Amino acid sequence: MPEIVLTTLNARYHHTAFGLRCLLANLAELRPRATLVEFECSDVAEEMAEVILKHQPRIVAVGVYIWNVEGSTRLVRLLKAIQPELTIVLGGPEVSFETEQQAIVQVADYVICGEGEELFYQLCRALLAGQRPAEKIHQAPPVDLSRLVLPYEEYLPQDIAHRLVYVERSRGCPYQCAFCLSALDAKVRVFPLELFLSAMQRLLERGVRHFKFVDRTFNLNIADGIAILEFFLRRVALGLFLHLEMVPDRLPDGLKSLVQRFPPGVLQFEIGIQSLNPTVQSRIQRRQNQGRSLENIRWLGAHTGVHMHTDLIVGLPGESLASFAAGFDQLAAIDPHEIQIGILKRLRGAPIQRHTESFGMVYNPDPPYDLLCNDLLDFATLRRLKRLARYWDLLGNSGRFGHVRRLLFQQTQPFYQFLALSDWLFAAIGRTHEIALRHQFDWLYQGLTVGLGWDQAVVLAALEQDFQAGALREAPDCLRGRPGMGKPIPQRPKQALPTRQARHAAHSC
């Protein structure tokens, strides 16, 4: 029986606990005495406790994040109630800052704040030897990455077959964006390049084809970025998909020419825009050349097969509704595949806290600590924008309604057009989730024609194209009776791309 159980609650089944695998890989001689048990946030606390206690562990380590802190607290309380002598060790970003005031910390025995690979090993050695450190909270300094054992052998065959595989080339970020915990990092550190590429080769040999890089800024070191992309380009015939987070104003010619050589859909760039208001950018210390960023996004769309996922944040200090709308419309004019709309969250420890008083920032006291109102956006407006973000992800980002989206982007002030549509949809449906795909077509038709007054023939033509490009078999009510709508849609060949990216590719054909 393992004496150490590492556990966490993932948001969904297809996610994997990368941080716990890093801890597991660096337990040295204790590795055979440890095991990893993963759950989902929807799992029942009593059932999770039963699974953990079947291992008869002496130590249970729990990875705590913003999305699972409430479920983790219930689990830890239950474990301590059933087996008080069990040692509970917490780690993860949620408990690394403002630590002592948290309910889950009150129940646990020890907390490791920061990068825990070396400190967790030392703590486990002491505990298993019968030595209990007096200090409850332990601050872990940044580790020397060259000393760490890479965690990729901790991915099991079932992980590789069915779940996301995260990889990490670097830690830290040179940017000091106030909303992000990476603003607290002193510098960027990298794993040795040859060691990293050797590990990637091993993952390829084990069948991994989708790689999600967790690096904050993949294109910070251009030479290293080129070396990694060249490594994957030489193996692109295997059917690869790479997710990379990049800063948009850093795309020199050497990187551009390399990116152009990748087949369409192999690369996905997550591009953090956050705001296109220069004053807001300066206030949150978002150092970004706005003109160059937009120019590079436009170039990527015109000259490469990169799938672009751009990010905007609602509620940044000093960003009005009109300012946010203008930023959205600037991106809409370029038409990246996805424009992700997120509501500002006050992550524990993030420097955004310094703007709370001066901008009247009021955050939800419970996870995910999202903004409730500020001096420019009242509570009712934030509620509207949160609904808009959900409808936009469902209808604008999903890849299912590419032709309708193009119609929207051709309108004057597309953001306000979609805000009006969002308000109409919520008034009509009363919810933003659990809307079947067939009904999405019908509600979209009614919202655009009745709610916004768009021309029926134009809307129906766009919806018909979206229906023909998608996987929905039976025509929705709004398209019934139109020529060709009763014909079965031919079975599409299996896509190597993730589902949403494959939809975007189909609509771009």
CB-CB contact of 268 with 243 (8 Å): yes
The pLDDT score that the predictor gives to residue 506 is 60
With a CB cutoff of 8 Å and minimum separation 6, the contacts of 251 are 219, 296, 299, 300
CA–CA gap between residue 318 and residue 277 (Å, rounded): 9
pLDDT tens sequence across 480-499: 988 766 545 555 455 566 66
Determine what percent of the chain is predicted with pLDDT higher than 70: 95
Identify the residue whose tokens are 């150490």. 4
**pLDDT for residue 213 is more than 80:** yes
CATH assignment, 4-144: 3.40.50.2300
DSSP codes of every residue in 70-116:
HHHHHHHHHHHHH-TTSEEEEESGGGSSS-TT-HHHHHSSEEEES--
Q: Containing H/E element for 199? A: helix 193-205
**Mean pLDDT, to the nearest integer, of 340-359?**
96
CA–CA gap between residue 233 and residue 225 (Å, rounded): 12
Q: Within the chain, which residue ranges are assigned CATH 3.40.50.2300?
A: 4-144
Which of 6-10, 173-177, 209-213, 289-293 is least confident?
173-177
Q: Does the N-terminal peptide bond of residue 414 adopt cis geometry, omega within 30 degrees of 0?
A: no
State how beta strands 241-246 and 210-213 pair.
parallel
CA–CA gap between residue 50 and residue 60 (Å, rounded): 13
pLDDT tens sequence across 354-363: 999 999 999 9
**pLDDT for residue 76 is more than 80:** yes
The pLDDT score that the predictor gives to residue 505 is 66
Beta bridge partners of 245: 270
CA–CA gap between residue 337 and residue 308 (Å, rounded): 5
| The model scores a pTM over 0.85 | yes
Tell me which residue of 427, 425, 342 sits closest to 391, measured CA to CA: 425
Confidence of residue 174 (pLDDT cuts 50, 70, 90): confident
Residue that wins the pLDDT comparison between 74 and 286: 74
The pLDDT score that the predictor gives to residue 182 is 80
The pLDDT score that the predictor gives to residue 13 is 93
CA–CA gap between residue 471 and residue 437 (Å, rounded): 10
The pLDDT score that the predictor gives to residue 503 is 66
Identify the residue whose tokens are 């450190």. 133
Q: 359: which 2 tokens?
A: 């901008």
The pLDDT score that the predictor gives to residue 6 is 98
Confidence of residue 509 (pLDDT cuts 50, 70, 90): very low
The pLDDT score that the predictor gives to residue 187 is 83
Confidence of residue 175 (pLDDT cuts 50, 70, 90): confident
Largest CA distance in the chain: 77
**Mean pLDDT, to the nearest integer, of 293-319?**
97
Distances (CA, A) of 231 to 166, 207, 242, 391: 17, 16, 12, 38
332: Cα separation from own chain's centroid: 21
